Structure 1
Amino acid sequence: MRSKLPVLELRKWESSEGSDPYSYGYNQGTPDENYRNATYILHSLVDIVLKNGNYLIDIGPTANGTIVFPSRSSLLKVGEWLKFA
């Protein structure tokens, strides 16, 4: 009798984190150099998408709706990469 091979079930899933590694949202106490950089975001994005996942990254705008420079800069670099990917 032949045994059945396991069937790989692909399920949708999501990984969520903030561009500020200490807060899911804007935190004025976080230094700019501590924000997640474009390389980190791209590696996470590629890894998660290859595993059938969705990557949600919070950019935590300030109270007046401004996206702080480190988040904006990283996301623009990721966008440039995606444009040519």
Structure 2
Amino acid sequence: MARFEVHLSDEGFAGIDGEPLVPDAGRSVHEAVLDRLRQYAEQRGAPVEATVNDGPGTTHFVLQVAPDGSSRVVIPADPDPDRPA
């Protein structure tokens, strides 16, 4: 499965694998990221995954986006056993 790194800033900027992403007028940066990931999935004919870092100092999560535009957060199958609950 193709994987990407998404970085979002508090100022409303985004990048996918280091490439700046500018949303079209009237669209949010989140919509632009989802649309671009959908395009990548469509080109490959298969879902893609992206590790999303939503601003500095925040946690990250893995998002899977399908060619039809549907998306879901991927829950790690093997959580870190050393991490406190």
Query: What's the TM-score, normalizing by structure 1?
Result: 0.34
- Structure with the largest fraction of strand: 2
Indicate the structure (1 or 2) with the bigger Cα radius of gyration: 1
Report the structure, 1 or 2, having the larger helix content.
Answer: 1
